[in-house]
Amino acid sequence: MPSFGETLKRERELRQISLREIAEATKINLRYLEALERDDFRHLPGGVFNKGFVRAFAQFIGIDADAMVTAYLDEERQQAGTADLPAAAPDVAPPSGLRWWVATLIAVLVLLVVAAGLTAFGYGPLASKFKALRSDAPRQAAVEART
């Protein structure tokens, strides 16, 4: 049984219509039309655009647009169901109990260290209080030295 793209291509060629003619008439990018005929849906924009492309393509060459949209959706579902996961993708489990707490604790400690560093350099939320303390220290030392 021919695939969706093979059927589309065969019907187009039977009518002796070029992809360029379809692209010019429907204003669909030529590479999208080629991707449809190759069943290469990864290079299509997705969603309702794809169904619109299929419908316009089928109407232009004079075949049942609804049947071709249904065939496209079936082929897309089939490709999505048989898509292989990348071999290098590791199994990532969500953090459980203790690991979640450890990760949270590390994140909080990192935030505290960053906040302390910013405050020390005069950019944190308590920086103005520390600046006031530092600026009062020389005055107090001078007052104490006089007495």
In a domain, 118, yes or no: yes
Measured CA distances, 61 to 3, 25, 28, 69, 136 (Å): 18, 11, 14, 14, 86
Shared domain check, 52 and 15:
yes
Geometric angle at alpha carbon 33, from 30 and 36, rounded to 5°: 150
Taking only the tens place, the pLDDT of each residue in 58-101 is 999 999 999 999 999 999 888 888 755 455 555 555 556 677 77
* Domain residue limits at 51: 4-82
Q: Name the percent of the chain lying above pLDDT 90.
A: 46
Shared domain check, 101 and 76:
no
Residue 125 identity: P
Taking only the tens place, the pLDDT of each residue in 72-82 is 999 988 888 87
Contact 33, 43 (CB under 8 A): no
| Rounded distance between C-alpha atoms, residue 21 and residue 27, angstroms | 10
The CATH number that applies at residue 23 is 1.10.260.40
37 alpha-carbon distance from chain centroid: 26
